[in-house]
Amino acid sequence: MTIERYGITEATADIPIISLVTVHDDVVHLCGITADPGSPRDIKEQTRQVLERIDRLLGRAGTSKSNLISATVWLTDMAHFADHNAVWNAWVDPKNPPVRACLQSPQLWRPGLLVEIMATAAK
């Protein structure tokens, strides 16, 4: 059994040791992706940043958003749902959308973060 791992973090006071991406049996798993902690408190901008990071990580693993299988979205405020979806809908491959869940989380790993997305894709 081979597991490829990309973007292994180094432990700090704020960050655990994790892989940003793992690949097993042609299935790509992304960790929860957030915007930069210093990002503006704007859900559209943070969502764009997260989706750009997802594109880069999927590309690094040899796949793309057209091969997404599932996504889980956490929003700190469900009042952001429509604005988040506007950015998501402009980004997602409309012919190959993943299954998706969207949940509210009162707080993400750093104050000021408004959205986190975890995704799985086929290679």
Taking CA atoms, 120 is separated from 7, 50, 80, 100, in Å, by 16, 14, 23, 10
Name the class of domain 3-122: alpha beta
The residue behind tokens 């299935």 is 27
More reliable by pLDDT, 62 or 39: 62
What phi, psi does 74 have (nearest 5°)?
Answer: -115, 125
pLDDT at 62: 97
Query: How far, in Å, CA of 3 to CA of 97, rounded?
Result: 26
CB contact set of 22 (below 8 Å; sequence gap of 6+):
3, 4, 5, 6, 28, 29
Q: Other C-beta atoms within 10 Å of 17: how many? A: 9
At 12 the pLDDT is 86
Quick: pLDDT tens for 17-60.
999 999 999 999 999 999 998 888 899 999 999 999 999 999 99
Confidence of residue 15 (pLDDT cuts 50, 70, 90): confident
Angle CA 74–41–102, to nearest 5: 15
Return the pLDDT at 95: 98
Residue 92 in contact with residue 25, Cβ under 8 Å? no
DSSP SS3 for 87: helix
pTM of the model: 0.95
